[in-house]
């Protein structure tokens, strides 16, 4: 069904008596007599219960003088707009409906939301009123569901995304209210969970190359590698390169020792090599909303960490490095009207959309509990 307009026009034909006008227009006191001055069209926007209100349909009715009963023909007392049960409207623009230019007039008006209003974008409320209005009641007995936040997928910007509002009523008018019926469900969209933190790097490994040196040997002795400092060890050298400490007489000789080549020395030069990279954090969970009314709100599991790259390019390994840690699971998305959860990353969970975002002059009343309203109002 389409949006319905109800504005009963009175005295379309026939006689017009003062008692009939009293019973039609002075509903708060339908007894006694009524004067013509009381039936002047009241244009005061601060009057919350005008006897004969200002309305486009009542434009023929005098406001000060020259009042005639004939001006009352086809006049109205109330103006109502209804979104019927069973209808679904996305981003319902309340002030864009067929009000016949009556929103900013003092005629008493009601907007009945009996079906479903929803939003698929967090930037726009499921139902929105953002024009000047007077004497307007938004009566909600149906569902108004804000948009839930999408998953948080950017690890460089880990903040969870914000949910969308259900109902926005932003107006500078007078006597504007929201009435919550017991069957209403006015739910802000849930905020997205924060992105999971990157896993920590694995334990560093220690690889090594050698530092080489030589120590002079001599007659009958090999050079001492410790002369080069702590940690040096001999790995070669000290070969026989000739005789020494020789004695002889005439044609006889004898060498008692050998001359040795320099000692070849080396020591390990440790180099720290990073452990395996930490795994990427998991995406934050989605928030509940008109666009996501069922399904898991859990964040995604983080990725496994990388393996130690090893000591390739070095001579050898002193200590094997460790594997990187698994990335943190993303934060849980918020249910209706709830913020997304935080993780150990640097951001925060997304903020839930408001159930009702309103100007300070707009009042909210009716049956308000955990079933009818979820989120700030």
Q: Domain extents for the chain?
A: 4-195+348-374, 206-272
pTM of the entire predicted model: 0.85
Q: Which structure tokens are listed for 357?
A: 């975002």
Instruction: Provide the token pair at 76.
Output: 């109205």
Instruction: Identify the DSSP state of 145.
Output: E
Distance of alpha carbon 72 from alpha carbon 317, whole angstroms: 101
Q: Dump pLDDT digits (tens) for 38-71.
A: 999 999 999 999 999 999 999 999 999 899 999 9
Q: pLDDT tens-digit profile of 324-337?
A: 999 999 999 999 99
pLDDT score, position 4: 96
Under DSSP, is residue 94 helix (H, G, I), strand (E, B) or coil?
A: helix
Return d(Cα 98, Cα 93) in angstroms, integer: 11
What pLDDT is attached to residue 255? 86
Half-sphere exposure in the Cβ direction for 336 (13 Å, CA): 20
pLDDT at 247 (0 to 100): 87
Cα 153 from chain centroid?
Answer: 12
User: Are the C-beta atoms of 263 and 233 separated by less than 8 Å?
Assistant: no
Query: Under a CB-based contact definition with an 8 Å cutoff, are residues 164 and 125 in contact?
Result: yes
Q: Could you say which residues of the chain have pLDDT below 70?
A: 1
- Cα angle 98-99-100, degrees, rounded to a multiple of 5: 95
What distance in Å separates the CA atoms of residue 125 and residue 226, rounded to the nearest whole number? 80
Q: What is the DSSP letter of 289?
A: B
Give the number of other CB atoms < 10 A from CB of residue 243. 14
- Polymer length of the chain: 377
Task: Please give the pLDDT value at position 183.
Answer: 98
pLDDT at 252: 78
Long-range contacts of 212-215 (CB under 8 A, 24+ apart): 212/264, 212/265, 212/266, 213/265, 213/266, 214/262, 214/263, 214/264, 214/265, 215/262, 215/263, 215/265
Q: How far is CA 237 from CA 211, 234, 256, in A?
A: 16, 8, 21
3-state secondary structure labels for all residues of 175-190? CEEEEECCCCEEECCC
With residues binned 3-state (H G I as helix, E B as strand, rest as coil), the percentages for the chain, rounded to 5, are: 5, 30, 60
């Amino acid at each position: 069904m389409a949006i319905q307009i109800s504005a009963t026009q009175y005295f379309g034909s026939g006689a017009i008596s003062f008692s009939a006008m009293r019973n039609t227009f002075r509903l708060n006191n339908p007894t006694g007599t009524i004067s013509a001055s009381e039936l002047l069209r009241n244009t005061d926007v601060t009057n919350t219960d005008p006897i004969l209100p200002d309305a486009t349909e009542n434009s023929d009715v005098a406001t000060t003088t020259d009042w005639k009963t004939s001006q009352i023909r086809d006049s109205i007392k109330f103006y109502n707009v209804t979104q019927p049960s069973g209808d679904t409207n996305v981003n319902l623009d309340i002030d864009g409906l067929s009000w016949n230019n009556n929103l900013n007039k003092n005629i008493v008006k009601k907007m009945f939301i009996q079906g479903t209003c929803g939003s698929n974008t967090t930037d726009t409320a499921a139902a929105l009123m953002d024009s000047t209005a007077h004497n307007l009641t938004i009566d909600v007995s149906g569902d108004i569901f804000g948009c839930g936040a999408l998953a948080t997928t950017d690890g460089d910007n880990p903040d969870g995304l914000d949910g969308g509002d259900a109902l926005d009523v932003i107006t500078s008018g007078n006597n504007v209210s929201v009435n919550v019926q017991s069957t209403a469900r006015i739910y802000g969209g849930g905020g997205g969970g924060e992105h999971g933190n990157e896993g920590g790097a694995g334990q560093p490994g220690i690889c090594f190359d050698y530092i080489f040196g030589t120590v002079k040997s001599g007659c009958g002795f090999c050079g001492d590698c410790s002369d080069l400092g702590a940690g040096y060890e001999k790995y070669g050298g000290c070969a026989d390169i000739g005789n020494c400490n020789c004695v002889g007489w005439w044609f006889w000789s004898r060498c008692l020792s050998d001359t040795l080549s320099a000692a070849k020395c080396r020591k390990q030069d440790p180099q720290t090599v990073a452990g395996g990279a930490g795994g990427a954090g998991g995406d934050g969970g989605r928030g509940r909303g008109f666009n996501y009314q069922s399904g898991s709100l859990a964040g995604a599991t983080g990725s496994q960490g990388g393996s130690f790259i090893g000591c390739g390019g070095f001579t050898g390994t002193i200590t094997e490095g460790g594997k990187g840690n698994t990335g943190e699971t993303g934060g849980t998305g918020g249910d209706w009207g709830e913020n997304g959860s935080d993780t150990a990353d640097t951001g925060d969970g997304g903020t839930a959309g408001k159930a009702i975002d309103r100007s300070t002059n707009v009042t909210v009343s009716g049956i308000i509990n955990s079933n009818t309203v979820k989120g700030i109002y």
